[in-house]
Amino acid sequence: MPTIFYKPYCNIMKKTLLLLLCTITCYAATAQKATFGIRSGYTSAYLHEQYNSNTGNTSSLNNVDLGVYAEFKQDEISFQPGIIFDLKGGTGGGSFVNTGTSIINTFSDMTLYYLEIPLNLMINFKLKPGKIFLGAGPYVAFAMAGRVHDYTTTYNQNGNVVSQNTTSTPITFGSAPNELKQFDYGFGFIGGFRLKKGWEVSAGSSLGLANLLNYSNLTAHNQIARLSLGYFFK
């Protein structure tokens, strides 16, 4: 996303997040019937980065997530908080170095392990076999741990692998330049179809608004897309 649009976009989303949080709080106080469910599925995570006036995205990390949810329904509107175990982060670009006798290929990825709490307002459209649901809302997330993996593969001049090496370094959280911020927040979207028996399929995304880095001219924001299967108990 271009820099000229990203900063105003973040400001608008932060204000929308606060307004929706107040709306959700008021709605939760009046909602009555509660059901509970689980979702798990495929995720694709990457980091949206900005350095001075340059923006770009890392390559994606593909993994799975697992979440538990409560749903408080009133008429065709429902409030759906949850707790999700997520893997976020991104993969950096690789590089090749020809030493004359060998070719060295290196690349790295950063994996962050989060507990994420989404707070979604849902609109439900009833159909004969079940319902279509659409939802959106803010989320907050806490990074429990993280690691940077560096991968190095050495080839000879014939293209045969000579050696492979992987190093793993734990990420530290804090306010120093070489540390990451531990808290994340943003805005999420979800949509899908649920059968009357409780089984469902859904797709969604989480757009991070928090800058994870402690630099003045460099930012990184979590982004993630999901495709999930779930079941809600009656």
Structure confidence by residue, pLDDT tens digits, 101-111 = 777 777 788 89
Of 3.10.530, 2.40.160, 3.40.50, 1.10.10, the CATH number of 3-232 is 2.40.160
**Contact 80/120 with Cβ under 8 angstroms?**
yes
**Which candidate, 184, 194, 64, 45, places its Cα nearest to that of 122?**
194
Whole-number Å distance between alpha carbons of 234 and 221? 37
pLDDT over threshold 80, residue 231:
yes
Task: Give 33's contacts (C-beta < 8 A, 6+ positions apart).
Answer: 72, 73, 74
Question: How far apart are the C-alpha atoms of 125 and 188, rounded to whole Å?
Answer: 20
Reported pTM: 0.78
Q: State the Cα–Cα distance between residues 208 and 143, nearest whole angstrom.
A: 13
Q: Looking at residues 26-32, what average pLDDT do you find?
A: 53
Per-residue model confidence as pLDDT tens digits over 168-226 = 889 999 999 889 999 999 999 999 999 999 999 999 999 999 999 998 788 999 999 99
Locate the domains of the chain by residue range: 3-232
Asked which of 29-33, 127-131, 144-148 is least confident by mean pLDDT, the reply is 29-33
